[in-house]
């Protein structure tokens, strides 16, 4: 059996840092005089916040958003002291020391968080500045309507918080026609007018595509940087794929007509077949819903220049490909490729969203960062 | 707003080591004189192979199965030199040094792997012993039919491999009535008869429930140890839940009738509501398919002694609960609980299998190991 010179059974997640930087520049080209920030929470959507953070810093990014203080601490170590790192969950009692130690800026989501923070920084020299996050209609985290007046009128509180950003978050930015976009925009303008000297931020990736009036001073894309499409007109989004899952071929075998393949015997060979067992499964983020059964072949992997169907159930560690009609040469250690340009289609087949699939890819794979 | 004494925004995965040990003893009670091994691949199905490995070692387990050499290396460091660790993917060229360095036993899945291994150990003192894995009908990894004769007849090869286990893997063990079970059993007996002195292993968790003739010398459960059900008669499986996801309450707010909640405005308040925003999302393994929309409330979380519906879209970091009718007292930092006894139901609602949900839980959560 022919095979690659050397290979490991461990699957590889390739993260293309050139495509990442290109996506950064592409999104920056859409926002006129606004500044770029990067949402790099959940370990940069599973791609590794240390390397991704440094790459984005190299591309010129100086403002980052994470979800938790612990994520901010790791990012601070990776990118150094100069960038701003905001923590979207805001300050929570147990995490205060991390905010101070790593110079993280809390995103204040409530009067409770505001008052807690003011109390916490009472005797601290040069505490981090903060952002105020107003809920303008997503009804998720953020300062609610009934607390807006307090923030608008309590000058001592605002001064103590040392606010350097006022922000909100869009609920329906991927749908250009959704009426909530304009409603949130209007409400954000009204609230932010109460704090006229502070820079403003509203747009996530989808918000960038909504156009100039959504951009304000700072935009904070996440998924778009990582090559994900977010709108109902994906062809208009000029981002490039960043992530591929490479599953090495561990074995090639023949299956006789009438035999079944994989768990639950869910796929039956209708003729003699040749299959390749590749080393990646749902523990590597390849969804079980991509399995190919007697009812339906759901997806294919790229093998060299061709595509080969996934047959049988995707299992924890292995996936099976039908190479019966494959025109190229398959060698042990050769790579079957998932996601990349197929991310949106394969996510849809998985009955998951592309964000969700992406965040699960990094768990077990070896990450290899490429520039190409 | 009342709140817990202290809390972090980071969600917690609790792993109950007492339940894990109880499940080990329960499964051991079903297998008569056979021995227990543990499948601990994919970081012990996401629960942390170091701590889980040590707990199972403490429960008496001395044989472990992992998928990749790298997983074996980490496990060896955790549990010490005495246990056997088999690597299911077998030896791959790039990983040979890890097999030797960490005394890992390759599961030989093909003649190619057999010959590679024999070549690799040529000048090695006391190389690890090996297992032979025959494919008896799953048509996934494993020695295929056409290679059986070579293994049966090439005494020099078998001697060089120093085989200490002959194994196969069941495709349909969760379905007691599936004809493939008996077919695989028959074939396994036939093949193993060719190597009469070597201990045999066939049963995964499902295989244990199939009964004594499937047990042979060694069984190797995975999901059952971690509390997962595998058969179409789950009530007959006496395992206990091991894993819970605890999402801290970050904010409580009111929503007016007619407003929407969360991304895509997929849930509309039909009356004034009170919601809790809890800190866990799909990056923590909570599937987006658990979202509650206008079409359907899919699931609920446990809050204290009651249950509260998930409303709106599960997002990357946060999930929203309807606490309008909640009878208890909700405090900031209080914990909303997912999975545990609900693992199977919430997995089904997610259109995923329980194994798949479990492997995604450990990625970002802080793991807390409890004994209770």
State residue B1's pLDDT score.
52
Q: For residues B73 and B162, state if they share a domain.
A: yes
CATH of the domain at B356: 2.40.37.10
In a domain, A125, yes or no: yes
What contacts A217, CB < 8 A, 6 or more positions away? A34, A35, A199, A200, A201
For A366, B49, B67, the CA distances from A8, given in Å and listed in that order, are 10, 20, 12
- Residue A144 in domain: yes
What is the CATH classification number for the domain harbouring A199? Answer: 3.20.20.10
Q: Do B174 and A288 touch (CB under 8 A)?
A: no
Chain A environment of B355 (Cβ under 8 Å) = 282, 316
pLDDT single digits (tens) B288-318: 999 999 999 999 999 999 999 999 999 999 9
Same domain, B273 and B354: yes
Residues B245, B364 within the same domain: yes
Nearest to B37 by CA among B199, B200, B215, B218: B218
Kindly list the residues from chain B whose CB atom is less than 8 angstroms away from the CB atom of residue A288.
352-353, 356
Whether A219 and A277 share a structural domain: no
Q: Is residue B6 part of a domain?
A: no
CB A319 within 8 A of CB A286: yes
How many angstroms from the chain centroid is the CA of residue A115?
31
A49 and A184 assigned to the same domain: yes
Task: Check residue B264 and give its pLDDT.
Answer: 97
Interface predicted TM-score (ipTM): 0.97
Active site residue A41: yes
- Token pair for B237: 């499986």
**Nearest-by-Cβ selection for A360 from B315, B351, B360:** B360
Interface of A with B in 29-48 (CB under 8 A): 41-43, 45-46
Residues A309 and A188 both lie in one domain:
no
Nearest by CB to residue B260, choosing from A139, A282, A283, is A139
Among residues A80, A48, A88, the alpha carbon closest in space to that of A61 is found at A80
**What confidence score (pLDDT) does residue A372 get?**
85
Among residues B24, B41, B45, B226, which one is catalytic?
Answer: B41
Element (H, E) at A311: none
Is pTM beyond 0.95? Reply is: yes
pLDDT at B160: 97
Does residue A16 fall inside a structural domain? no
Which residues are CB-neighbours of B163 under 8 A, at least 6 positions away?
B108, B129, B130, B131, B132, B195, B198
Q: Please report the pLDDT score of residue B2 as a whole number.
A: 63
CB B188 within 8 A of CB B136: yes
Residues B276 and B146 in one domain: no
Q: Is residue B264 domain-shared with residue B365, that is, in the same domain?
A: yes
Q: Quick one: A142 and A253 in the same domain? A: no
Domain boundary among B178, B206, B230: B230
Q: Which of A7, A26, A263, A355 is catalytic?
A: A263
Which residues of chain A neighbour B264 with C-beta distances below 8 Å? 171-172, 174-175
pLDDT at A87: 98
CA separation for the pair B301, B276 (Å, rounded): 11
pLDDT value of residue B372: 85
Predicted local distance difference test score (pLDDT) of residue A4? 72
pLDDT less than 50: residues of chain B: none
Domain hosting residue A331, numbered range: 241-370
The answer to whether residue B155 is catalytic is no
Number of domains in chain A: 2
**Contacting B residues, span 286-325, partner chain A, CB-CB under 8 Å:** 287-289, 312, 315-318, 320
Please report the residues numbered 221 through 280 in chain B whose beta carbons come closer than 8 angstroms to any beta carbon of chain A: 248, 250-251, 253-255, 259-265, 275, 277, 279
**pLDDT per residue as tens, chain A (372 positions):** 566 779 999 999 999 999 999 999 999 999 999 999 999 999 999 999 999 999 999 999 999 999 999 999 999 999 999 999 999 999 999 999 999 999 999 999 999 999 999 999 999 999 999 999 999 999 999 999 999 999 999 999 999 999 999 999 999 999 999 999 999 999 999 999 998 899 999 999 999 999 999 999 999 999 999 999 999 999 999 999 999 999 999 999 999 999 999 999 999 999 999 999 999 999 999 999 999 999 999 999 999 999 999 999 999 999 999 999 998 899 999 999 999 999 999 999 999 999 999 999 989 999 999 998
């Amino acid at each position: 059996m022919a095979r690659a010179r050397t290979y490991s059974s461990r699957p590889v997640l390739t993260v293309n840092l050139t495509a990442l930087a290109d996506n950064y520049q592409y999104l920056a080209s859409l926002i006129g005089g606004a500044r770029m920030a990067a949402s790099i929470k959940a370990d940069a959507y599973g791609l590794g916040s240390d390397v991704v953070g440094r790459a984005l810093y190299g591309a010129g990014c100086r403002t980052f958003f994470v979800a938790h203080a612990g994520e901010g601490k790791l990012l601070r170590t990776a990118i150094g002291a100069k960038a701003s790192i905001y923590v979207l969950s805001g300050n929570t009692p147990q995490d205060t020391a991390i905010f101070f130690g790593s110079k993280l800026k809390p995103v204040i989501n409530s009067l409770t968080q505001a008052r807690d923070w003011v109390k916490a920084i009472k005797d601290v020299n040069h505490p981090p500045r903060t952002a105020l996050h107003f809920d303008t209609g997503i009804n998720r985290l953020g300062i609610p309507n009934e607390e807006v007046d307090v923030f608008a009128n309590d000058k001592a509180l605002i001064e103590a918080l040392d606010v350097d950003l006022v922000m909100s978050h869009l609920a329906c930015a991927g749908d250009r026609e959704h009426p909530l976009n304009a409603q949130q925009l209007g409400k954000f303008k009204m609230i932010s007018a109460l704090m006229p000297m502070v820079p403003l931020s509203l747009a996530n990736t989808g918000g960038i595509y909504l156009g100039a009036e959504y951009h304000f001073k700072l935009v904070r894309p996440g998924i778009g940087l990582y090559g994900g499409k977010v709108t109902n007109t994906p062809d208009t989004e000029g981002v490039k794929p960043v992530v591929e899952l490479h599953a090495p071929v561990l074995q090639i075998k023949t299956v006789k007509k009438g035999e079944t393949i994989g768990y639950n015997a869910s796929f039956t060979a209708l003729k003699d077949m040749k299959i390749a067992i590749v080393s990646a499964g749902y523990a590597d983020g390849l969804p079980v819903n991509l399995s190919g059964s007697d009812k339906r072949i759901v997806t294919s992997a790229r093998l060299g220049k061709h595509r080969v169907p996934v047959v049988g159930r995707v299992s924890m560690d292995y996936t099976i490909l039908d190479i019966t009609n494959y025109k190229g040469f398959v060698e042990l250690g050769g790579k079957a490729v998932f996601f990349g340009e197929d991310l949106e289609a394969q996510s849809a087949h998985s009955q998951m969203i592309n964000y969700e699939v992406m965040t699960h890819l990094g768990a077990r794979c070896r990450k290899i960062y490429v520039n190409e």
